[in-house]
């Protein structure tokens, strides 16, 4: 999954470069927000699949998805305190922050 995280980081770098050149439309921030919401949904799905099946591979996927979401959240939340990953979702594993 490390290569997927690297691909995501490369994509974010390209988006940032496009922002500097004013080649992005206003909907890109909306798209980023939707992507983050989808990652929250995927993360929850993996968590409940892990709980239902008892298979730890789902919990490993939760960690990978959370890392992707954390990187994207940093793009829309410029100044933050605490744990970035728990801002829009339930805090798992407890305690949050």
* Segment 31-71, tens digit of pLDDT: 888 888 899 999 999 999 999 999 999 999 999 999 888 88
Entry field: residues in the chain? 97
pLDDT the model gives residue 26:
54
* Segment 61-74, tens digit of pLDDT: 999 999 888 888 88
Q: What is the rounded CA–CA span in Å between residue 89 and residue 40? A: 7
């Amino acid at each position: 999954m490390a290569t997927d995280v690297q691909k995501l980081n490369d994509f974010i770098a390209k988006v940032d470069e496009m922002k500097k050149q004013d080649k992005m439309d206003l909907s890109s921030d909306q798209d980023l927000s939707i992507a983050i919401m989808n990652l929250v949904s995927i993360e929850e799905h993996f968590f409940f699949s892990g709980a239902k099946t008892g298979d730890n591979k789902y919990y490993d996927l939760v960690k990978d998805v959370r890392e992707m979401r954390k990187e994207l959240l940093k793009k829309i939340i410029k100044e933050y305190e605490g744990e970035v990953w728990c801002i829009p979702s339930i805090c798992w594993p407890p305690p949050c922050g």
